[in-house]
Amino acid sequence: MPEPPRHNLPAEPNRFVGRERDLDDLRGLFGRTRVVTLCGVGGIGKTRLALRVAAGLTGSYPDGVWLVELARLGRGELVVPEIARVLGVRAETGRPLLDTVTARLRDLRCLLLLDNCEHLVDACAEVTAGLVAACPRLSVLATSREPLRIAGELIWRVPPLDLPDADVELESGPSPVLGPAAVPAAALPLPTRELGPAGTGDRGQAPPGKAPPGGAGAAAVGDGGRLGGGGPVGGGPGEAAGGGETASDAERGVGGGTRSGAGNPGEEVLGTGGSAARGVAGAGSGVAGGVVGAGGDAAGGALVAGGGVAREVSGADGGVAGGVVGAGGGAAGRVVGAGGDAAGGALGAGGGTPCGAVGAGDGAAGCRVVGAGAGAVGEALGADRGLVLRAVGAGGGVAGEVGDEKGVGGQVDVGREGGGEGGDEGWGRWGGVVEVESVQLFLDRAAAVGTRLGPESIADVVRLCRALDGLPLALELAAARTSLLSPGQIADRIDDRFSLLTTGGRAAPARQRTLLAAVEWSYDLLSYKEQVVLRRLAVFAGGFDLGLAERVCAGRPVAEAEIVNLLGSLVDKSLVLCDESRTRYRLLETIKRYALERLRQAGERELLRARHLGVMCELQERLFATEMVDRGVPWPERLRALTVSRNLLDDQRAALDWAVESGDVGLGLRLCTVSTALLPLGGNPAEIVDWIERLLSLDVSAVPPEQVAHAKAYLAYGLEARDELSRSLEAAEESLAGLAPDDVFPRCVMHSLVVVVLLRMGRADEAVRHAEEGLSVATRTGDPWNQAAGLAGLSAVALTRGRLREAQRHGEEALVRAREHGHRWIMARAAAQLGAVAEARGDLVTAKARYEMAVPWLRELGADGDLARCLAHGGRVAAMLGEFAVARRRLAASLALSRETGQRQGVARCLMGLSVLAECEGDLEGALPAAAAAAALRESIGQQHATLRIEELLGRARGRLGEGRTAALWSRGRVMGPDDAARRVLEGERQPRREPPVPVEPVRRPLLTAREREIAGLLTRGLSNRAIAGELVISPATVARHIANIMEKLGYTSRAQIAVWAAEQASGPSA
């Protein structure tokens, strides 16, 4: 099966309504232009439309469709880091992040969806222009309240949803006699779409016989003046298959039919042989039914008076239609015959007496039943042509619909008729209206809160749609209130609110005033305490849970115990959204902005933001302790703490923003030191450095020196991850000098960090003291994390010195302590360290097993940088073991991760591994360019390359290929680029000249010093310590010490073993 398209688009929360032609046109634009911006007022549905468009384009972009949500960002400089985060690109030392992102996207065919650009429009415009200019296969879809105004941008003005035709009558209550003119027959006009520089396209009207957008099943005028509609009865609310084709469809035996929105009772018609029928019904408490014939085949009418029943039906051309009898304003039924062959009847009485209908002949039978009071159950039987049965309960009754090809039905669904009485015959009047986009949306969202509106409500729904200008957010907010208020009551309040707003805010666009009116109206409908909680919830930058809401939003006049019910009420009223599990909540951006202004007006902004910062600090301290410090915590709980911290990253940023804005350096630094989501393990190393440096640049006179030292510990941690080794070492030493004696955990972390930095700087002798001191403190306090880190540091120091037995012992103890702690990152570090030791000893099987042990742990953490490193090491070892397929897979995966995260050092590491793979496969002419490309890449980023490994490779190449050929291949590799060099090995692209596979000696570290090698060589001659001392002019004690070091490094126990080893080295290839 083909791999599914890559994307990060969210699942749709509910049914997408309307805009079908917009979707088709927008998707088509991307074949002609690369930057499209959806512009419009807030709440008009730009994001939802963009997500729908993007979902339909996933197949056109093999490298992915990537959503970048900008609404939560507060500064323009965060746009590029957010794009990088979505793409999985990480910052590199000495290189602008935008350059790294550009390099990642340069050859990809993908679509970026930049959502909510308006508050960062300048930064978005600059970044988009740069990316599009540098990446020829990249496309960008943006949403914003204003255009980006860059070259090549196509602006698509998103219009409101279509509104009912202005000619639609809005009377409610008892209906007059209705005839064919009551059914709209013409397609609705469409608004003009602005296409920016590309010009203006007038969409005009739908062609004759076609339905308007979103109006499947709408009435249309076809040939011969016959009235057809919809297509076969079926589909969901507001749908009828067939799309409103011309009357020729009816001639093929397709009847027209519509259904109400949101599962409400609607009118259905079955017609055959050229007869089409459509019914209309009156409203009020009475019962009415009627048939309108098409093509002169059948005709019918109805009269309604008060709460009684009146029915008059006449047929033509032998067609017969059945009658109804109702009692007590409760029941009505109708059957439409086809071809004059079917007959039916219906009977309803009082509290919901069952009703049946039987059709005969080769026609189709249809039955509708409406019960009052306790509801009604309907059952019908048809013959030959099948059966359609519809039962609608009123006032909380029972409704059911069954279709059976054999003509048997009798199942019911529980439903609620929320619009009084009068039956579903009244839907005939509104057949075309309920198919209009804005009406469909309102009915659908009303049904989502449990309200099924009857036909008597449609006039008020139309009023609401017009008053709200078809704005989706306003309509959804209004629909949410139908659980408490009728559409008429809502419409009255909306009109009042608009009249108030006409006296102010004239500088704002009319639609913006309308949207603000809708939001304000919804806010004013809340109770006082609901208002307080809503405006306080706006302090959250991202999602939140109940616990956070209780801690941040409680306070006079709202008690903490009241938050749960108030939050649930806000969810029910669609002002707060929640996930399916109802554990995570969030505010729509428009609601959040409105609520923030209310928070400011209430004088609570400073109080709530300070409280939010304090709560974030307290929460992160608990999470940090659970994940890193506390002993005996099961791994699932530690992982959950890390996940929660990562999920709160936006709120941590918002809290730190407030710390900087308010000058609360103490709380800001406190949050930085406990946020694992901001540390390099789980985040961007540049970010923690930037936050701490910003805070330390403020007035720190009121901050205790110990807290500043603690913060510098994590500054050093981030600087090391950014390869700023000198600055990292300086910050770490300042931290160790200033930390309080009881700050044990950060002190141990600093000792371990200094070990890493000093080893990277080639200062192993200095690293020993820090490794030993950190281990001593961790052992004394029973801290398994730092015990493992300290032991891993000692193992690394011993390995650097060539003391393999000592390195192995410390590495094994480190893994034991790491398992005791349980955190997968420290376990992976210990396992990888043991892999390095085994590789140095030449035990490649064990090395491969150790590297592979770490892989699933790093995958679980999502630590892509460490995972790429581990895969590269494992791939190189597999190549030396002759497991070429495994090696190729590992190295290819590592290379992909390094590319995706923008890590050039990782790419260089993979190229060296690929060089080893090529040589092991007998392809020296592939190994040389890969190594040369790796060396060039490392030089370009200021990293030291593996000099010994490369010198040994060049030596072997000169011996087999000659000096000239070796030099040519090396030069070619330095200019051919990393991707080409990697592809040549991964895809097996070899030059015509091939070398047979030859065994390659594992590349060992320079285990022995020059003096130790000299002494080992003399041992092959059987010399004593005194004789060796005399030959080298050193003391016998010095010789003994050197021999002891040699035994420790090689893992031997006798002078004879050293002599054998030295003889092998002298006779074999250089190691």
What gap in Å lies between CA 403 and CA 389, rounded to an integer?
6
Q: Is-contact 522 481, C-beta < 8 A?
A: yes
Residue 153, pLDDT > 80, answer: yes
User: Phi-psi category of 305—alpha, beta or left, where left has phi over 0 and alpha has psi -120 to 50?
Assistant: beta
Q: Does the pLDDT value for residue 231 go beyond 60?
A: no
From the DSSP assignment, how many helices (H) and strands (E) are in the chain? Answer: 39, 23
In a domain, 57, yes or no: yes
What is the residue whose two structure tokens read 């298959």?
241
With the CA atoms of 547, 548, 552 and 557 taken in that order, what torsion angle do they form, in degrees rounded to the nearest 10? -40
Place of tokens 């790294």: 100
* Residue at 327 is within a domain: no
Do residues 420 and 285 lie in contact, with contact meaning Cβ atoms separated by under 8 Å?
A: yes
pLDDT at site 475 = 84
Q: Does one domain contain both 1038 and 966?
A: no
Q: What confidence category does residue 681 fall into, taking pLDDT thresholds of 50, 70 and 90?
A: low
Domain boundary among 157, 175, 209: 157
More confident residue, 465 or 613: 613
Q: Are 129 and 43 part of one and the same domain?
A: yes
Which is higher by pLDDT, 795 or 366? Answer: 795
Q: Is the pLDDT at 369 greater than 90, yes or no?
A: no
pLDDT tens track for 85-142: 999 998 888 889 999 999 999 999 999 999 999 889 999 999 999 999 999 999 999 9
In 3-state terms, what secondary structure has residue 302? coil
Q: Has residue 210 got a pLDDT over 80?
A: no
Of 435, 427, 431, 428, which is closest to residue 161 (Cα–Cα)? 435
* Three state DSSP letters for 316-330: CCCCCCCCEECCCCC
Q: How many CB atoms lie within 10 A of CB 210?
A: 16
More confident residue, 1026 or 218: 1026
Which pLDDT value is given to residue 678? 80
- pLDDT at position 168 is 59
First-to-final CA distance of the chain: 48
Give the model's pLDDT for residue 433. Answer: 84
Q: 1068 or 652: which carries more pLDDT confidence? A: 652
CA distances in angstroms from 566 to 224, 476, 556, 563, 583, listed in the order given: 60, 20, 14, 5, 15
- 901: pLDDT strictly greater than 50: yes
Q: Is residue 540 part of a domain?
A: no
Same domain, 942 and 1046: no
- Residues 133-159 as b/e (b if ≥16 CB within 10 A, e otherwise) read eebeebbbbbbbbebbebeebbbbbbb
Residue 1052's domain comprises 1010-1067
* Cis, peptide link before residue 557, omega less than 30° from 0: yes
Q: Which residue has the higher pLDDT, 772 or 208?
A: 772
Q: Coil, strand, or helix at residue 10?
A: coil
Return the pLDDT at 575: 80
Share of the chain above pLDDT 70, in %: 68
- Whole-angstrom distance, CA of residue 265 vs CA of residue 569: 29
Q: Give the contacts of 1050 (CB within 8 A, at least 6 positions apart).
A: 804, 1007, 1008, 1057, 1058, 1061
Model pLDDT, residue 878: 94
pLDDT on residue 445: 84
Q: Quote the pLDDT of residue 1071.
A: 32
- Residue at which a domain ends, from 103, 130, 157: 157
Average pLDDT over residues 647-674: 94
Average pLDDT of the residues of the chain: 73
The angle, 0 to 180 degrees and rounded to 10, between the axes of the packed helices 963-976 and 924-940 is 50
| DSSP calls for 602-653 | TT-HHHHHHHHHHHHHHHHHHHHIIIII-SS--HHHHHHHHHHHHHTHHHHH
Q: Give pLDDT, residue 1067.
A: 59
Asked if the model's pLDDT at residue 284 lies above 70, the reply is: no
**Within this chain, do residues 1027 and 972 fall inside the same structural domain, yes or no?**
no
The predicted pLDDT at position 774 comes to 94
Residues 1043, 1061: one domain?
A: yes
Mean local confidence (pLDDT), 264-274: 32
Alpha helices in 988-1035 (DSSP H): 1010-1019, 1025-1032
980 and 926 in one domain? yes
Report the candidate in 781, 642, 802, 261 with the shortest Cα–Cα distance to residue 482.
261
Question: What's the confidence (pLDDT) of residue 287?
Answer: 32
Give the model's pLDDT for residue 35: 96
Same domain, 1027 and 980: no
704 assigned to some structural domain: no
Whether 347 maps to a domain, the answer reads: no
Q: State the average pLDDT over residues 971-980.
A: 88
**CATH code for the domain of 1016:** 1.10.10.10
The domain spanning residue 84 has which CATH number?
A: 3.40.50.300
pLDDT(222) > 60:
no
Element (H, E) at 911: helix 904-920
What is the tens place of the pLDDT at every residue in 596-609? 989 999 999 999 99
Within-domain flag for 950: yes
**CA-based nearest residue to 99, from 52, 145, 131, 53:** 131
Helix, strand, coil % (nearest 5) of the chain?
50, 10, 40
Number of domains in the chain: 3
Asked whether residue 28 is assigned to any structural domain, the reply reads: yes
Long-range contacts made by residues 120-129, C-beta under 8 angstroms, separation at least 24?
A: 120/70, 120/73, 120/75, 120/76, 120/79, 121/146, 121/148, 122/76, 123/76, 123/77, 123/79, 124/70, 124/76, 124/79, 124/148, 125/149, 125/150, 127/79, 127/80, 127/83, 127/98, 128/35
Grade residue 899 by pLDDT with cuts at 50, 70 and 90.
confident
Q: How confident is the model at residue 4 (pLDDT cuts 50, 70, 90)?
A: low
Mean local confidence (pLDDT), 400-421: 33
- pTM for the full model? 0.62
30 with 140, same domain?
Answer: yes
DSSP state, residue 159: P
User: Do 889 and 950 belong together in one domain?
Assistant: yes
| Same domain, residue pair 903 and 1035 | no
Q: In the prediction, which pLDDT does 1068 show?
A: 52
Residue 800 lies in a domain: no
Rg for the chain (alpha carbons), in Å? 38
The tens digit of pLDDT for each residue in 104-120 reads 999 999 999 999 998 89
135, 157, 179 - which closes a domain: 157
Please state, in angstroms and rounded to a whole number, the distance separating the CA atoms of residues 799 and 1007.
Answer: 9
997 and 1042 share a domain? no
**Same domain, yes or no: 999 and 868:** yes
What is the share, in percent, of the chain residues with pLDDT greater than 90?
37
pLDDT of res. 680: 61
**CA proximity to 142, closest of 130, 154, 160:** 154
Looking at residues 785-808, what average pLDDT do you find? 92
Q: How confident is the model at residue 503 (pLDDT cuts 50, 70, 90)?
A: very low
